[in-house]
Every structure is written in C-alpha cells, then in structure tokens.
Chain A
Amino acid sequence: MSMLKKLMVGGALAVSVGALADEVPPPLPVEPVGIIESLPARYPADWFLIQDGAFFHMSDGKVIVIDPTQEGVGDQVKGMFNVSLMGNIMQAPGRGEIYATETFHSRGTRGPRIDVLSIWDMENLSAVGEVILPQGKRFMGMPAREVMHLLNNDKWLAIFNLSPATSVTLVDLDTREIVSEVPTPGCSHIYPAGDMAFTSVCADGRFTTTHLTADGEVKERTRSDVFFDSDETPIFERPAIIDGMAYFPSFKGMLYPVDLSGDVAVPQEPWSIAGDIEGEWAASGIRISDEDSSGAMYLLMNPEAANTDGKHNEGGPEVWVFDPGTQTLLRRIALQEWGLSIAVSRGPDPKMLVTNPVDMSVELYDATTGDFIRKLSDIGQETPLYLYPAL
C-alpha cells in the first residue's frame, strides 16, 4: 500500500472512530522500534536444537532453536543461527556458548577459503567471537557430536580434523587462540577420556587414547586391544555414552560396550541388540543414538540392516530403549512413519524428537510412554539432518 493510501485510510478511520468515540477502546500505544528478543541463559529441558544442513545449498546451513512441546509455530521457534558448509556445533552451557565449525569462501562457492570456529552466545544467538582454524582441515561431513569435546576444565575445545589426514586442533576458549594440533594417525573422532585426554576410534579396529601435557602436546598414547574389523564387522562411530561407558552399535546388530573411564579404553563383551526378536534389526540413520537422564539408551533401528551391507544410513521405523547395563530392552517405540535422526531431552520427563525423512519434518514423542505428540513441519526447516537436546 502506498504511503498516500495509508494516510487516506488512516484519516477515514479517524473520522469513523471519532464518531463512535464512546464505544471503542483507546488506540494502541505507540511502540518502541528496535527491540530484539533474547533467550534464557539456560535453555529449558524440553528445548531442542535442529541442525539443518541445507543439503542442497550447504553454505546456508542453520540451526533452529525450538520448543516442540508448544502447539503453534509462534511458540515453538525460539531463534536461529547460521552454520556454513556442513559445520558442526557443540553446546557448552557452562560457558553460555555454542561452538560451530564453519567454512566460507569469499565469493560464496568460490574465492579464498577460511575455516573458523564461530562462538555463539546462547542468550542472544549472536556471534561473539571466532578463532581462525587451520585451512582445509576441519571435519566436514554429516553432522556429528563426536567431533568436538571440552577438555582441561572446559578451558580447551578439541576439534576433529579430517583432510583426510586425521588430527585434533586444541583451542583455548578463554584467549580464543589455538593451543596446538595433535596428530591422531589412523584414528578418528573424539570421545571422553578424562580432563586431559581424549579417545579416538581407529581403522585397525581398536581405540587410541591420547594423553595431553599442560601445553597441549602429546604426553602418551595408550591403545586398546583390537576388537572389531573395520571391513567385515564395522561399528558405528556414534555411541550412546552413559556414566563413562560408551555403547557402540555395529552395522550387524551388535552392541559393543567400551569403558572410557580409565587411562585406556577397554572394550567389553558385545551383545546382540535384537536377541531373539524376529528380523535383521540393526541401528541405522544419521543420529542413531541418545541417552536420557535416567541412563536409558535410545537406538534408531532398522529391521533389514543387520545382514545387508549399505542400509546403515537409511534410518528406521522404530526406536528401541535399553537399560544398557543389564542389557534389558525397556520398550520399543514405533514411529509414525520413519526416522533418520533422534534426540532425547534431558530432565525427569524426557521427550524424543525424530527427523522424519519422508517429508523432512520433525516429530515429537513422549520418550517414556512412546506416545506420539505432534509433527512440526513448518518451522523453516528443509533438511533437518541432526538433532540435539538442549543441554
């Protein structure tokens, strides 16, 4: 509407309102301009972060902060921040920050490249700092939570590199400077191993734990026994981790408990996830595992994957919930349609969010009862590949 028309309409309204002055409420007050919302310093337990990798235009990836327990999009969407070119994120609520590895070219898809660690402030979803990373090294692949990890009393951030040579870059989060780059030859990803060490999974079928000096250099490497064959009996690199125990599903439907609490990772006896249950069940999908505050483990399961190579990324129709310590199947949650990634909220009343790849929506379930709650399909998402509970 043109300004002139607006003025004319406004004048007409003023006349008619004046004629009915005794019957209408007072006009709305003039409102301040320029107000920007903010979020609570600690996100509520029912909130989630949806990582939309923008698979068809990856330099425009983003993360949407949502409360899926609300009914309308106005109450569901809390905010958003960008993560360029298949980046990865990690929440650090103790520091009030979210870290994101990103890559940019000066002219969009071309021009000089820069890799950065972006530091987002959780309250304002503002980029409050960055650290320039070594060019062309940071892991750039499907989103994963096994590529960043806090060390040294949350002072250092460890970032996994795959170029395809593998290493870990240590960043001092206080000074926002790089501490060191630690080679991890033949080994990938980052799993907890105490305050000054991290564990990686290796191509030769074992784990290596890298112990660090106060300067961020390699102090010692310890290695577990070989316990899987990366050709014939591969494990997923995506475990659930509960009380220092990591539970790695295998492509063939086994679960490998690995004790990460000591100086060296200790694989324990694997067990069949499905046991006597009919079908060729195995974990499948992108984010295939999570855990809740009670210590239960959640696995996204596919009934045709255990004996058929190539089905490990497809996702599945059910989520199975285990007490992994006693190897007890607590419940099977049948999804509405299909799941690609799952995440479970923390707190006493956990909710489960699931990416439905059929229509690229996300769906909310009561994680305790398995009841479907609602579908969220119009929250600005395109390819919600990875989900995180708010921490």
Chain B
Amino acid sequence: MSLLDRIFEKQARQVAQQSSRRGMLKKLGGALVGAAAVPLLPVARADNHAAPAKPVEEGDDTSCDYWRYCAIDGFLCSCCGGSANTCPPGTEMSPVTWIGTCHNPADGRNYVISYNDCCGKSGCGACLCMRDEGDRPPYRPDKTNDINWCLGTSSASYHCSTAVVVGVAFEE
C-alpha cells in the first residue's frame, strides 16, 4: 500500500530536503523508468552462463535506501518479521502486484521487482518507506502503488510490502 514517508515523520521531511541521497536515487530511477515493462513480459530469466558463481547484492534491507525499494511505498516487511522477499509469520502474500525496475549496484544490472504486499494483519507500522520512482496513477494498475494490493487474498488488511526479484530487465 502506499504512502508517505516524509509525511509521517519529521525525519522524512529532512530526507526529502537532502537532495544528495534522493537526488542520486531519482537520477537513477529516471534512467530506469521505462526500462520496466508489463509484469512477466520483458523479463530475461537468470543467465545460467553468467560469470559470477554467486549472485551478489549489497545493502541493508531494512533501510529505505536498499536498492530493491526504488518504487516502493509502504512498510518494509524486513522490519516486520519477514524479509525483502518473504512475508512475516501468519500473513498472506498477495498474488497480484505492482512492479518497478531497480538497479542493483553490486552487479550493475537492472531487475524487475515485484512488490507483493503481505496481508491479513493491520499495518506493521515499522519502516515506512516511500520512493515512488516509476509509480504511476491507478490508470496504470501495473505501475501504481497508491492502492491496496491485498487483492486476491482472503483478507484485505494491508500489513507490509516485499520486493521480490522476478527477473533481469531487458536493456532498451
């Protein structure tokens, strides 16, 4: 679900005024927006011939700055008993989502990220994060984070959001 980090905490406003971090991310996001596509379509699955023996990513997945969260807007499941790609105990992962395209600085690739919400409990309340890069209004349901994505779940109650890697984005 969406919202408003700057909005709930004074620190959020400070974040928005600190153009360094956000500015960097925005430039990055601006370069990446458009590289994304419709869910499950322009996605290249992991290349078995890729050189590194082990995929790499870096950063703190409880931080709003974490690379996967470029288009997120909600509570980070990493702070709620889940992780960047798993739901907290006793919740239910929404099968339908919005997507973003984020750049993994550790391997230089762009990835399609699926922001599946975890549902069935009230708002986690921790680590509210709004990045919104590539977010579009609800007339683009595939790219909007301003709606409750607890759709297709038994409960409509929004708890937190994950950021699941679903593929490498095609280069334009």
Q: Which A residues contact B (CB, under 8 angstroms)?
A: 55-59, 85-86, 103, 105, 108-110, 113, 136, 139-142, 162-164, 166, 187-189, 200-203, 230-232, 234-237, 286, 304, 308-315, 338, 340, 357-360, 383, 385
Contact = CB atoms under 8 A, between A and B. Distances in A.
Contacts of B25: 310
Contact of B148 (A86, A187, A189, A304): A86
Given A110-B120, A308-B30, A309-B26, A314 B6 contact: yes
Nearest to A166: B141
Interface string B45-89: 000000000000000000000000000010000000000000000
Given A309-B26, A313-B146, A357-B6, A230 B140 contact: yes
Given A142-B3, A230-B139, A164 B151 contact: yes
A85 B138 CA distance: 18
Contacts of A230: 136-137, 139-140
Given A189-B138, A310-B131, A110 B154 contact: yes
Given A55-B123, A105-B155, A310-B134, A202 B4 contact: no
Kindly name the residue among A142, A162, A187, A309 whose own CB sees the greatest number of chain B CB atoms within 10 A. A309
B6 A110 contact: no
Contact of A56 (B34, B125, B156): B125
The 7 closest A-B pairs by CB, nearest first: A141-B147, A357-B7, A109-B157, A310-B133, A164-B141, A310-B132, A188-B139
B26 A310 contact: yes
Interface string B1-45: 111101110101100100100110110011001100000000000
Nearest to B136: A234
Given A141-B146, A309-B30, A202 B139 contact: yes
Contact of B147 (A55, A140, A338): A140
A368 to B, nearest CB: 28
B16 A314 contact: yes
A55 B33 contact: no
Contact of A234 (B1, B73, B125, B137): B137
Contacts of A313: 2-4, 73, 130, 132, 135, 146
A358 B10 contact: yes
Q: Considering residues A201, A203, A340, which has the most beta carbons from chain B within 10 angstroms of its beta carbon?
A: A203
24 contacts: A56-B123, A86-B1, A109-B155, A109-B157, A110-B120, A113-B156, A136-B156, A141-B148, A142-B2, A142-B146, A142-B147, A163-B151, A164-B96, A164-B147, A201-B137, A203-B140, A230-B139, A234-B137, A309-B134, A311-B16, A312-B135, A313-B132, A313-B146, A314-B130
A376 to B, nearest CB: 17
B136 A103 contact: no
Given A231-B33, A232-B34, 13 more contacts: A105-B156, A113-B154, A231-B136, A231-B140, A235-B137, A236-B137, A309-B26, A311-B26, A313-B4, A314-B7, A315-B7, A357-B12, A360-B7
Contacts of B130: 313-314
Q: Main SS of the interface on chain A?
A: loop
Given A237-B139, A313-B4, A58 B34 contact: no
A107 B29 CA distance: 41
Contacts of A113: 154-156
B133 A309 contact: yes
A56 B155 contact: no
A231 B34 contact: yes
Given A141-B138, A231-B34, A340 B4 contact: yes
A176 B104 CA distance: 53
Nearest to B75: A56
Given A57-B123, A304-B19, A309-B29, A136 B133 contact: no
Contacts of B4: 55, 286, 313, 340, 357, 385
Interface in B111-140: 120-123, 125, 130-140
A58 B158 contact: yes
A293 B73 CA distance: 35
A304 B137 CA distance: 19
A162 B156 contact: no
Q: In the complex, which of the residues A230, A286, A308 has the most CB atoms of chain B within 10 Å of its own CB atom?
A: A308
A351 to B, nearest CB: 23
A308 B148 contact: no
Nearest to A115: B156
B8 A383 contact: yes
A139 B2 CA distance: 14
Contacts of A309: 26, 29-30, 33, 132-134
A201 B137 CA distance: 10
Nearest to B92: A110
Nearest to A53: B3
Nearest to A382: B8
Contacts of B2: 141-142, 313
Contact of A338 (B13, B120, B121, B137): B13
Contact of A357 (B8, B146, B147): B8
B138 A109 contact: no
